Amino acid sequence: MTLKTSLCNGGLLRRSFVKGAPLWSLWLLGWLLILPIYLITRPDVYPFELTQHVNGCLTLGCTIAAFFYGLAVAWYQFAWLYRTRSAYHYASLPLRRETQFLTRYLSGLLFHIGPALVVTLLSMAAGGAQGENVVLPILNWLGATTLLFLFYYSLAVLCALLTGHVAAMPVLYLIANFLSLVLQEVLSLILTLILFGLSAGQNLWPTWFSPLVYCLNRGVFSQERLTNAAGETTGYLFTGWPIALIFGTVGLLLALIAFLLLRQRRMESAGDVIAVGWLKPVFRYGVTLCCGLTLGWIIVSLVLESGRTSFLPLLVCVLIASVIGFFAAEMLLAKSLRVFQKKNLLRLGGALVVITALLLCCKYDVFGFTRYVPQADQVQAVSLDSGPVVDDSTIIERTIALHQEIVDNRHALENTPGNTLSYRITYYLQNGTTVERYYHLPFGDYSDPDPSSLGYRMEVLENDPTVLLEAYFTEQAQPQLEELSVEYRIEDGSYLQYPLTLAQKETLVEAMRTDVSLGLLGKTGMLAVEELGSHLSVSWQYLSPDSVPGRYTSLSITAESVNTLKALRDMGLPEDALQ
């Protein structure tokens, strides 16, 4: 009789699913409360309210809930790898490793798909009972949550195969999701001390290396409100399918890697922090580097004045912390305190040399970060101090010239005593990337700034009429005249709003635009004029191109803004408010 290899064992599948009932029952109960029970008990439903609620649940289901549930299911399905007796037992069964992996992996998928199907059917019925068709939104919920669960579950399974210790598995899972973010923050804080022009908190690599943070910050599983010509809501559209499909595809690739790891896994590795031999050096030196940077920064922050730390104390703190991290990692790998052998001392010496070399390369700008200034033909637009994005060629050229002067005077600026102001320059390049630099520039005294100083010249550039027009009257965000108001202070210290007609508001906006274009209104920073700004201002809200209300802004009216003052005087504003 011909023997056939089974890819899935029915008995093991049923046993795993039934024994995991407490886990998937909680998942089922939670979503029953959030979706069908909520939908059926919602009184006085307004149009598309249920659709909006279902789509809103995608943020919870596709990010936070799937993140933790995927970890819990993977831990349950593969916890047998962490006990020597159970690992040997399952390895001795006639079931092939491929069969065991696929059976348990599919069982884990059923932990989500089974409850999700029940919730889907009941939610459709609940929506119909309330008089709203939620079939498409609930199918979107089913598909998107399944794809995200597939990703997080597969990532957790991969972490489960990389370790042989029950406590290390969730730690590896958290590291896989958040190491990029934490390391970027710590590395950015350290490099700001030795890299001229680097801003703390600046992104050093894409945020999608931390999937959960990326999804939450970018709002990728959001919904778009659909309206008709009259502005009435006609429905809500789920916009997260491209990202959900990418996550699902990556999840399948992670599952394939985990499958290949189990085929080669040594069952004797149960209890080891790292169960894959070739990953042990990665773990050893990775912990050394991360501990050196993180603990080194903590030492610098607590013991020294981190804002004034020179390179040598920083280097010493990082190296001391690296030694601690190296021996901690070695103790975890060896499961012993006896790790001070000659071979480990040689490994540690090599690691310290590499870390020192990398910090020295940053200090002396071997990679050219500090010296880099883009060419004008490479820049599409520029933003000064997180202000408006300006694509005017003259502003771009002036910014590059000033930036080049800052770079040329790097050493003098690093040691400049006295008052400084912080400035941020952001270039938007033609190839779609961005370049950001952050500097502290001298300007002299607040009461008597030096016109030749770099800080003052940067203020002049930021207050150029072209930049100010883009900040206050951009084509991409027109003032919403209905929200425009004029406010002035009277003798008793209270404020009054002066009523204007729509035509008067249009006239006032045009007068303000003229003053801004002439450099008579809207100046900021050291160049701001405060003569009337304390008691007369104009405020309005912007209306974006998609007719969605945007941010509010307010301009203090000064004695320089002659056109605006004339327009307000012609509209009948009290003369006391204009003095």
Q: What digits encode the pLDDT tens for the residues 17-27? A: 899 999 999 99
Q: Give me the pLDDT at residue 417, please.
A: 64
Matching residue, tokens 């109960």: 29
CB atoms within 10 A of CB 203: 11
pLDDT score for 5: 58
143-159: b or e for each residue (b if 16 or more CB lie within 10 Å)? bbbbbbbbbbbbbbbbb
Q: Could you give the 3-state DSSP secondary structure of residue 30?
A: helix
pLDDT at 67: 93
CB–CB of 203/183 below 8 Å? Answer: no
Q: Which helix (H) or strand (E) holds 238?
A: strand 233-238
Sign of CA dihedral 572, 574, 575, 579: negative
- H and E: helices and strands count for the chain: 20, 10
Tokens of 559: 């004695």
Are the beta carbons of 426 and 436 closer than 8 angstroms?
A: yes
Residues of the chain with pLDDT under 50: 1-3, 306-307, 532, 547
CB 448 within 8 A of CB 442: no
Q: Are 103 and 9 in contact (CB under 8 A)?
A: yes
Residue 570's identity, in one-letter code, is: D
What stretch of H or E contains 515? helix 502-517
**CA distances from residue 251 to 41, 135, 213, 245, 520 in whole angstroms, order as listed:** 36, 26, 17, 10, 58
Distances from the Cα of 178 to the Cα of 64, 181, 250, 530, angstroms = 14, 5, 17, 47
For the entire predicted model, the pTM comes to 0.79
By residue count, the chain amounts to 579
Q: Are 374 and 380 in contact (CB under 8 A)?
A: no
- How far apart are alpha carbons 95 and 98 in whole angstroms? 8
Rg over CA atoms, the chain: 31
CA angle 139, 123, 217 (to 5 degrees): 55
DSSP assignment string, 295-346: HHHHHHHHHS-GGG--HHHHHHHHHHHHHHHHHHHHHHHHTSS----HHHHH
Q: Which residues of 9-42 are buried (b: 16+ CB within 10 A; e: fewer)?
A: beebbeebbeebeebbeebbebbbebbbebbbeb
DSSP 369: T
Tokens 């307004």, located at residue: 46
Distances (CA, A) of 397 to 375, 391, 462, 485: 9, 10, 13, 37
- Distances from the Cα of 356 to the Cα of 122, 320, 392, 512, angstroms: 61, 12, 43, 57
